[in-house]
Structure 1
Amino acid sequence: MANYIHVPEGAPAVPKLDVTLDEHDYRAGALKLLKTLRPHWKPSEVKTKSFTDGITNKLIGCYVGGSMQDVVLVRVYGNKTELFVDRENEVKSFRVLQMHRCAPRLYCTFNNGLCYEFLQGVALEPEHIRSPAIFRHIARQMAKYHAIHAHNGWVPQSDLWLRISKFFSLAPTHFDDPEKDQRLKSEVPSTACLRDEMIWLQQNLSKLGSPVVLCHNDLLCKNIIYKQQEDVSLPKSLHLLHRAIATDWRCSVCPARTPPGNVKFIDYEYAGYNYQAFDIGNHFNEFAGLNEVDYTLYPGRERQWQWLRAYLEAYKEYKSQGTQVSNTEVEVLYVQVNRFALASHFFWGLWALIQAQYSTIDFDFLGYAVLRFSQYFKMKPEVMSLHLPE
């Protein structure tokens, strides 16, 4: 069994540059990187754009000229994230996905970050990933990830329980700040309670039979880039993404048509071998959004069935197993996904507690932990009433 990422022979080498960026004054360090990556760029002409959507790392785009056609993204790892992110594994995942044309080019790593290609397109919002017009693209791209054989003949093993156990050991039991410490004690389940749930999850979910595949593991909307393709057969007004979403592409010309275009996933910090159903359930949890979380937006049975059928058709196609999908296959995956959505809440609840201790990013991580654990316990009875078909 293997839970490591095997990089195929022939994958492009990734240079490691001995540069350390100051996350508060990054320009000098970024220019050192660009001296190697873009030697023809004049330092005085380099412009930067800070991307503020992420809550783990700092991300800066570097470019020259008036348009962002050639952009080098510089990602500076968040404070203490090496405690819970395997950076070597992240780079291997990046290289594997790049080999299968599922990821942008990785230019280099440096002492506290990495540089990679900027993908042209639109980072999606929660309302986009909930739209059938777009989620068929997402389902298909996820299926492509899951069908990748990157284990060199070994049978892959999920590292989910190992990661959760590590997160549990790193989660703070108190904060120096009295107000935060009081919130922790009054709003977050006790250490003993979390330990019991961690054991229960492993015992109950491991036996569901979900395949272990190469997963993204963090498919929130901002990690999905949509690039629309031109299609002259469609009305010009429908070539804009926001109009495509607004109309859900249900026009008289093409009532059931998926809009032209494609999606790419970015950010592979948590990528690795995991249960297929975790990756999907985790994505369904993201239908609720991040900054203003609303779990009433978690997809219902009918919407999930549409998504899961599209996914299974693509997955079987990529695995050369045809494209016919039975209702039983959809129902099995439906049960697995909704139970593994529990593990997703638990995983990110622990993650948020660790971030509340160490992160320098302005975000209420403790409040986010409370949200995830609250939804975990709210969802648990409902999903445990679901049963695999006989």
Structure 2
Amino acid sequence: MDGQHVRKQLLHVDIHIDKNEPRKGILNLLSRLRPHWKSQDIQMKTFTEGITNQLIGCYMGSLQESGCVLVRLYGRMTELYVNRDREVEMFQVFHAHGCGPEIYCSFENGICYEFVQGTVLDDELLRQPSIYRLIAAEMGRIHSILPKCGPPVEPLLWTKMSHFLTLVQSDIDNSPAEQQCTKSSETLQDIPSFETLSAEMESLKRHLSHINSPTVLCHNDLLTKNIIYNHKEGVVKFIDYEYADYNYQAFDIGNHFNEFAGVTDVNYSLYPSRELQRDWLTAYLESYKHGTGREVTVTEAEVTQLYIQVCKFSLASNFFWGLWAILQSRYSSIDFDFQRYAMARLNYYFEKKEEYFGLTISQLTCSTFEGKL
């Protein structure tokens, strides 16, 4: 099944929910989605892990019972850099292929969708071989979903990154009075100049565009809290598709590896070892090859080649989210030090740029690759 057969008109409810006092608006919404629910018996739980939007679970009885509805209130000004129509489309594509929850409706400042049963991953679970192999296999499965018939799809990366950079330039051009609203103890001078950022993006594009990484359906934001583990069924599911779209295969993987470093306190010493990466990539390639109808045998050379591509595209991931965090420091009302996060991402980008740009197949033959594990 390809993407063109799964889209349907989504219910839109013409209400706006007050993020400061959401219960009244949510009850109004639920009267349409769950008319058999009695308002006095509806329970709500606010999830606090996210740093972009507000997420509230609504349920009768227990949160883990079927029928729970998640209500997501979009973060302030996120419409500047998130394509909400595309997000809905991606929700429907992922769900149609058994890879994600059902989306129930949209409303003026958010969406409602199915609660995915299971446990949000933590950093320890992320490193367990039995878990990370499930994640690798699920990503391989998603990456093998074919696009709709038509012209070849283009990777999202450069268009989105250029858009972010344009918004950053606009942000820099704002008045100093406006710039005082950043929620950070660091000064704006810590952020590289627009000219530096622009030059780096062009450098990335020149280098990475020559790498033969396939364009596939990607999640593009696979941090720990976007992975749900269902221990009972032995499966993982990915949630939240704000950035899901067709993109470079190696970007999605490199982006996930970067997320091993965490969000609140970014620590790149937690970046996965080469040994873990190699095992992860083997499980991924087995799944991806199976999903695309190829022989599932995975060679050392294939793992090495993908490892190099992932290292290089992990640079683009750090740069991408560095730009994103600069924008969030301007617009978000969520209590999070976005500027500190931006600097952690960008500093690691500059730290690893020369090393990763220089990686070649000849450097990492099977024997030397194994010798460095």
The answer, yes or no, to whether TM exceeds 0.5 is: yes
Aligned: 1:8 with 2:8: no
For normalisation by structure 2, the TM-score amounts to 0.91
2:207 to 199, 204, 219: 204
* Counterpart Cα distance in 2 of 1:126 and 1:147: 27
1:48 to 44, 50, 56: 44
* Counterpart Cα distance in 1 of 2:6 and 2:316: 36
2:285 to 312, 325, 333: 312
**What is the aligned partner in structure 2 of residue 81 from structure 1?**
78
Describe the SS at the equivalent of 1:49: strand
Aligned: 1:155 with 2:152: yes
Contiguous gaps of at least 5 residues in structure 1: 1-5, 231-260
Q: CA deviation at 1:150?
A: 2.5
1:286 to 252, 255, 259: 259
Alignment: residue pair count: 355
Say if 1:127 and 1:287, in contact at 8 Å, map to a contact too.
no
Letter in 1 for 2:31: K
**What is the aligned partner in structure 2 of residue 107 from structure 1?**
104
2:190 to 187, 199, 218: 187
Bigger drift between 151-160 and 212-221 goes to 151-160
**What is the aligned partner in structure 2 of residue 60 from structure 1?**
56
**What is the aligned partner in structure 2 of residue 331 from structure 1?**
304
Letter in 1 for 2:236: V
1:131 to 103, 125, 128: 128
**What is the aligned partner in structure 2 of residue 238 from structure 1?**
none
Say if 1:15 and 1:107, in contact at 8 Å, map to a contact too.
yes
For normalisation by structure 1, the TM-score amounts to 0.87
Residues 292 and 141 of structure 1, relative CA distance in 2, 3 Å threshold = same
Deviation track 1:100-154 (CA, whole Å, cap 9, x = no partner) reads 0001111111111100010110000122212212100000000111000122243
**What is the aligned partner in structure 2 of residue 343 from structure 1?**
316
**What is the aligned partner in structure 2 of residue 226 from structure 1?**
229
* Counterpart Cα distance in 2 of 1:178 and 1:76: 22
1:213 to 212, 216, 231: 216
Residues 372 and 10 of structure 1, relative CA distance in 2, 3 Å threshold = closer
* Counterpart Cα distance in 2 of 1:156 and 1:66: 42
Contiguous gaps of at least 5 residues in structure 2: 366-373
Say if 2:181 and 2:330, in contact at 8 Å, map to a contact too.
no
Describe the SS at the equivalent of 1:183: coil
Aligned: 1:17 with 2:13: yes
Letter in 1 for 2:264: N
- The equivalences for 1:352-367 within 5 A come to 352-367=325-340
**What is the aligned partner in structure 2 of residue 256 from structure 1?**
none
**What is the aligned partner in structure 2 of residue 34 from structure 1?**
30
* Counterpart Cα distance in 2 of 1:55 and 1:114: 17
**What is the aligned partner in structure 1 of residue 368 from structure 2?**
none
Q: CA deviation at 1:292?
A: 1.9
- The equivalences for 1:217-256 within 5 A come to 217-229=220-232
Residues 286 and 179 of structure 1, relative CA distance in 2, 3 Å threshold = closer
Say if 1:56 and 1:78, in contact at 8 Å, map to a contact too.
yes
Letter in 2 for 1:97: F
* Counterpart Cα distance in 2 of 1:178 and 1:119: 36
Bigger drift between 296-305 and 359-368 goes to 296-305
CA RMSD across the alignment: 1.8
